[in-house]
Amino acid sequence: MKKIVLVYSGGLDTSVCIPLMREEYGFDHVITVTVDVGQPADDILLAEERAVRLGTEHYTVDAKEMFVEHFCWPAVRANGDYQGYPISTSIARPLIALKAVEKAKELGVNAFGHGCTGKGNDQFRLEYIMRTLMPDAEIIAPMREGRLLSNGSREPWTRSEEIEYANAHGLDIAHTKDKIWSVDENLWGRSIEGGRLEEPDYAPPEEIFHWTRGLNDCPDAPRTLQIGFENGVPVSLDGKRLSALDLVLELNKVAGEHGVGRIDIMEDRILGLKVRENYECPAAVVIVAAHRALEALVCTAGELKFKSTVDREWGELAYKGLWLDPLREDLEAFINRVQHRVTGTVIMRLAKGSAIVVGRSSEAALYNEDLASFDSKTFNQAESLGIVKTHGMQSKLYWQLRQQGKILGGSRDEPMSIRGATEKSSDA
């Protein structure tokens, strides 16, 4: 019997894959694996019911706690960001692939299927894990490979054709050609794309947002809350210690009520395509902002400068799904070393879509109020004169030589304010 493990969400793409695996690829036995990383409970139930109705051998794997502890929290420590939004979908895909590989090995299956298109990022993220851990496995991607034509060739699927195929096979998929929203959801974020959202100048309709309130529906009174951190990750809200999972869920709810976490961005995919994406990341936006504020309090200027580079590299790797790359471990060696001091409390104010840091404290703070205060006489300000005189010494010497005509001047495109102060007019 020819078997395949299908990474299954229960949505349009992966549901269409089930009959395709049988009809076009010759797999007698389809095993569906749904990995729960925080999707709505109704979606998990729907996937289970649909998988059974479509005659698959189905497994649901609860990976919510593992997702927070081993994927979301590393993202917090690294201020995980890609082009202006907290990465969420990208850090869930390696875990989903890992669980699919575990199930395939357990059942002795050496073939995988997924519903990723040939334009998206997820094909890279899922297959990287599969090909690394099971290099000899066969991987089938019907949406990427295209639909089979009568002459034996293949052509790319369109979303409308998928819907027609689903309807013809009685798949009971709740998509329409007018509202073709493609939604991915996990504990750390919710992404929405497709349909008219692909138009960069189209204002997203309120109906696409499920986690966050619109500005008109937000409470008028701001909400102030305290987030307690230990070793770079949040452990409490308003003084109440919570599990990692409960903390994220609670903060998603609270921040979402105040409209925090909506992001509309033009994103550069791995293939180089520019796409328009909408995100809802209430907890992630608040936690990462608080984490940055705490790092700024306890880290040296040099650490912060270097860590910004490390964080950016970490975010790029995570976005591409390269979770097993040794560079990630190398970067995290530095990141985690710094996090030993990132312990303290951050006060956030949530109001009408904004999350603003209004206070922070830590026993490891490198801030000294007595030294910094203008009202303090502890620091003898007159002692600054010597170092101020030597500040920028080499550049001052350069300008002296230039004014003396001993070196060639700069571009004529320099700002007039600079050129006029340093060079004689050509008309003189």
pLDDT tens, residue by residue, 62-74: 999 999 999 999 9
Q: Which helix (H) or strand (E) holds 350?
A: strand 344-351
- pLDDT score of 421: 53
Question: What percent of the chain lies above the pLDDT cut of 70?
Answer: 93
In which element (H, E) is residue 345 found?
strand 344-351
Among candidates 89, 15, 9, 16, which has minimal Cα distance to 43? 9
Mean pLDDT of 308-324: 98
- Tell me the pLDDT tens digit for each residue of 21-30: 999 999 999 9
DSSP one-letter code for 215: G
Residues 79-94 pLDDT 10s: 999 999 999 999 999 9
What is the average pLDDT across 261-286? 96
If pLDDT is split at 50, 70 and 90, which confidence band does 179 have? low
**Dihedral of alpha carbons 232, 238, 241, 243, sign:** negative
Q: What pLDDT was estimated at residue 177?
A: 52
Average pLDDT, the chain: 92
Q: Of 251, 250, 248, 225, which Cα lies nearest the Cα of 238?
A: 225
Q: Where are the domains of the chain?
A: 3-183, 185-370, 371-422
The residues annotated as belonging to the active site are 13, 93, 122, 182
CA 399, distance to chain mean position in Å, is: 46
Strand partners, 4: 30
| One-letter amino acid for residue 377 of the chain | K
Q: Which CATH class is domain 3-183?
A: alpha beta
**How far is Cα 51 from Cα 32, in angstroms, rounded to an integer?**
7
Written as one letter, the residue type at 354 is S
| pTM summary value | 0.90
pLDDT band of 42, cuts 50, 70, 90 = very high
Q: Which residues contact 160 (CB under 8 A, 6 or more apart)?
A: 177, 180
Handedness of CA 388, 391, 395, 398 (dihedral sign): positive
Please, which residues bridge with residue 16 across strands?
Answer: none
Q: Check residue 427 and give its pLDDT.
A: 46
Residue 79 DSSP SS3: coil
- In 26-142, DSSP assigns E strands to 29-36, 57-62, 81-82, 85-86, 111-113, 138-140
H or E element, residue 347: strand 344-351
CATH 3.40.50.300 fits 185-370, yes or no: no
Question: 154: which strand partners?
Answer: 148
**3-class SS at 288?**
helix
The residue among 130 and 168 whose pLDDT is bigger is 130
What's the confidence (pLDDT) of residue 175? Answer: 54
Are 256 and 282 in contact by the 8 Å Cβ rule? The answer is: yes
- Helix, strand or coil, per DSSP, at residue 6: strand
For residue 369, pLDDT beyond 90? no
Q: Show the 3-state SS of 133-180.
A: HCCCCEEECHHHHCEECCCCCEECCCHHHHHHHHHHCCCCCCCCCCCC
